Every structure is written in C-alpha cells, then in structure tokens.
A and B are shown apart, each in its own frame.
Chain A
C-alpha cells in the first residue's frame, strides 16, 4: 500500500477511443505528477500540479489532457492515442513544490499499463 492508488491497472484501447486514468492519493500531499515510463527509456515527466494548479507541462501532446479537481485526485484523459503511447503511466505525489521545499521525495502509485492497438 503506497498511499497512491491508480486505476485501472491495465488498459487496452484503440486509437479512436477516449479513456481516462485516475489517481488518488491519501497522503495529504499538495503536489501530484504524471509520468510516462517506456521500455528502455528514462522516466519522463508529463505534468505537475501543485494545489490544483498546473506548474509543469513537459511539452506533452494535446491528446493527453490532465485534470486536477483537488489536491487528492488527478486524472489523465486520453483520446486518439498512437501506438507509441503504449507505456506504463505512473502517478506520484509529494508534500509540495516550490523554492522552500527542495523537491521533496515523490511517492508513486503502481501505474496503469496502457496498450494502444
């Protein structure tokens, strides 16, 4: 039990489908993150939210649309994905971000394994 829960654990979708990934953290953190992990590639940061406000969009294609309704929940809406988007999508949280917090440790969920047909 990591305190960060992601659903679904596995998702198979066609390129024309629309689906959403969900992340919920029970740690009382204020910052939440989406990462993409592909085989043989470093963890790639996609988005960062702090107190529901997006602080980082790492040049992510618009077919990925994040939503952060509150500090405990984070969604990643997917539409018209490409085969190269198949990967493990990891959500993480940390206490906060900002110059006084020196990049605090991040707590990861188990991830959603996404396969695009």
Chain B
C-alpha cells in the first residue's frame, strides 16, 4: 500500500547547527503537508506544498517539494531550542475521503 517514509527518525544537534528531515512517498502526491508536534503537545500544521519543485520559506524553515512530487524536505537553519519537537510530513491517500498518510516523524533534540 501507499507509504510515506521519513528519515532520520531522531536527530540531536547543537544549538546553531542546521537540521534537515527528508520525506519520501511510494507514490506521486498531489500535495504534501508538514506538521510539528512539541513534546507533550499535539501536531500543528506548518505548511502545504502543491507544485512540483516548489520551495517555501518560513523564517529559518525551508520546505521543498521534489520535481517528481514524491519527496519533500524540511531544512532548519541555525536551530534554536524552540525548534525541539517531532516533525511529520503527510501526503493525501484520498482527497475524496480526507485520508492523510503520515510519515513516522523526525524527532529533533537541540542542545543549548
């Protein structure tokens, strides 16, 4: 069945270092969404990418959607302790039913 894989599963960085998480789908996606879940919190929507090759920025966060629309990445420049959490990508399984397939997430730890 359709799968969305994320790597790495965990990443520990020193504050100020960069961080990247990668998302790969077994099928072409019409769009991809990214969410962040802080420890003890709930997933919060960050962004949606729709177009092939699309790049979007939110301050220190850069999101990319691959040309083939089967992969995506999230890059954080100069991490801060507030970036700690788990980052999930999610792709639509079916737009008719609203079903999203979530990746297993990348948990980021930032050492001050």
Which A residues are in CB contact (< 8 Å) with B94?
A: 56
Which A residues are in CB contact (< 8 Å) with B96?
A: 55, 97-99
Assess whether B33 is interfacial by the CB under 8 Å rule.
yes
Q: Mark B32-64, 1 if CB is under 8 A from A, else 0.
A: 010000000111110010100000000000000
In the complex the two chains form, what is the Cα distance from A94 to B92 in whole Å?
13
With CB as the reference atom, state the residue of chain A lying closest to B104.
A42
Given contacts A43-B43, A90-B43, A102-B30, A50 and B95 within 8 Å (CB-CB): no
Assess whether B111 is interfacial by the CB under 8 Å rule.
no
With CB as the reference atom, state the residue of chain A lying closest to B98.
A97
Q: Dominant SS at the A interface?
A: loop
With CB as the reference atom, state the residue of chain A lying closest to B33.
A105
Given contacts A42-B105, A97-B95, A98-B95, A103 and B43 within 8 Å (CB-CB): no
Q: Are A42 and B97 neighbours in the complex by a CB distance under 8 Å?
A: no
Interface residues in A20-37 by Cβ distance below 8 A to B read 31, 33
Best-buried of B50, B103, B105 by chain A (most CB within 10 Å): B105
In the complex the two chains form, what is the Cα distance from A102 to B30 in whole Å?
8
With CB as the reference atom, state the residue of chain B lying closest to A57.
B97
With CB as the reference atom, state the residue of chain A lying closest to B31.
A102
Which A residues are in CB contact (< 8 Å) with B41?
A: 110
Q: Are B43 and A108 neighbours in the complex by a CB distance under 8 Å?
A: yes
In the complex the two chains form, what is the Cα distance from A108 to B48 in whole Å?
16
Interface residues in B93-112 by Cβ distance below 8 A to A read 94-105
Q: Are A55 and B104 neighbours in the complex by a CB distance under 8 Å?
A: no
In the complex the two chains form, what is the Cα distance from A101 to B99 in whole Å?
12
With CB as the reference atom, state the residue of chain B lying closest to A6.
B42
Binding site for B on A (CB under 8 A): 2, 31, 33, 40-43, 45, 48, 50, 55-56, 58, 90, 92, 94, 97-99, 101-103, 105-111
